[in-house]
Amino acid sequence: MPTQEKIAFVSGANRGIGLETARGLAKLGITVLLGSRDLKKGDAAAAALRSDGAKKVEPVQFDINNRDDHRRLAALLEKRFGRLDILVNNAGVNLEKVDWAGADGINTTAAVSEQDLRDTFETNFFATVALTQTLLPLIKRSPAGRIVNLSSILGSLALHADPSSPIYHAKVFAYDASKTALNAFTIHLAAQLRGTPIKVNSAHPGWVKTEMGGPEAPLEVSEGGKTSVQLATLPADGPTGGFFHLGDTLPW
């Protein structure tokens, strides 16, 4: 997919996987708007990217849970560019505190609070769906729109049901279920958009050393954005409605 004049928005882009995704896209010459709840942190992230050679980056104050921010972002994109080529739904939370170093045997299902369950779904699912619906008219104006939903291998029902799978004993219920729901959104939206140039896919970034992933994660932060960048820049004959990690298909 040609990257010249492409416009991307990445939510939760001032740190971690979102920042690395923005870095990867910007280094391809794509103009990237960095969504950040704290604009000062967004400014700092943009400055760091520019110093690394990623020149076409711009911070935008954006809280995924604030629907007014959704509308303001849509208005900004409409006024400045008239379209959106790439949407990376990266913002997410994990409110269940677990010891990943002892991941064997983690299961929060019986203890997770209703509030944590609701708050997790609000950010990881409901607000993400709402943002995508708000921006979809702008994405439809792109000659090759791409929507990337940041999921997790922990959202795979097939792997959670398989006692031999590597995630079978790591069940963080609110987070996992929210990513399963996000995967369902990917499948349904991709089906609705078949026959258009828009591609919708779910990305598993890997277990990455971020604030959420923790220090025990095997992947460095620099690796975390690679799958999102791949899916955001798929060619015209690339897949849609899939679940991927670095080009490999994951089971739903």
pLDDT 10s digit of each residue in the chain, 252 long? Answer: 444 589 999 999 999 999 999 999 999 999 999 999 999 999 999 999 999 988 899 999 999 999 999 999 999 999 999 999 999 999 999 999 887 665 468 999 999 999 999 999 999 999 999 999 999 999 999 999 999 999 999 999 999 999 999 999 999 999 999 999 999 999 999 999 999 999 999 999 976 544 554 556 455 666 779 999 999 999 999 999 999 999 999 999
Structural domain contains residue 148: yes
Helix axes 127-139, 173-192, angle to 10 degrees: 20
Q: Which of 175, 185, 207, 243 is catalytic?
A: 175
Which residues constitute the domain of residue 135? 7-249
pLDDT score for 209: 41
Domain at 103, CATH number: 3.40.50.720
Structural domain contains residue 120: yes
Structural domain contains residue 1: no
pLDDT score for 223: 72
pLDDT score for 217: 47
Structural domain contains residue 17: yes
Structural domain contains residue 2: no
Structural domain contains residue 235: yes
> What does the DSSP assignment read for the chain?
---TT-EEEETT-SSHHHHHHHHHHHTTT-EEEEEESSHHHHHHHHHHHHHTT--SEEEEE--TT-HHHHHHHHHHHHHHTS--SEEEE----------GGG-TTEE-TTT--HHHHHHHHIIIIIHHHHHHHHHHHHHTTSTT-EEEEE--GGG-HHHHT-TTSTTTTEE-HHHHHHHHHHHHHHHHHHHHTTTSS-EEEEE---SBSSTTT-TT-SB-GGGTTHHHHHHHT--TTS--S-EEETTEE---
Identify the burial level of 135 via C-beta atoms within 10 angstroms of its C-beta, where 0-12 means exposed, 13-18 middle and 19 or more buried: buried
pLDDT score for 7: 98
pLDDT score for 211: 54
- Taking the model in full, what pTM does it have? 0.93
Active site residue 175: yes
Count other Cβ atoms within 10 Å, centred on residue 65.
17
Structural domain contains residue 72: yes
Structural domain contains residue 77: yes
pLDDT score for 156: 98
Question: Domain total for the chain?
Answer: 1
Cα 28 from Cα 249, distance rounded (Å): 24
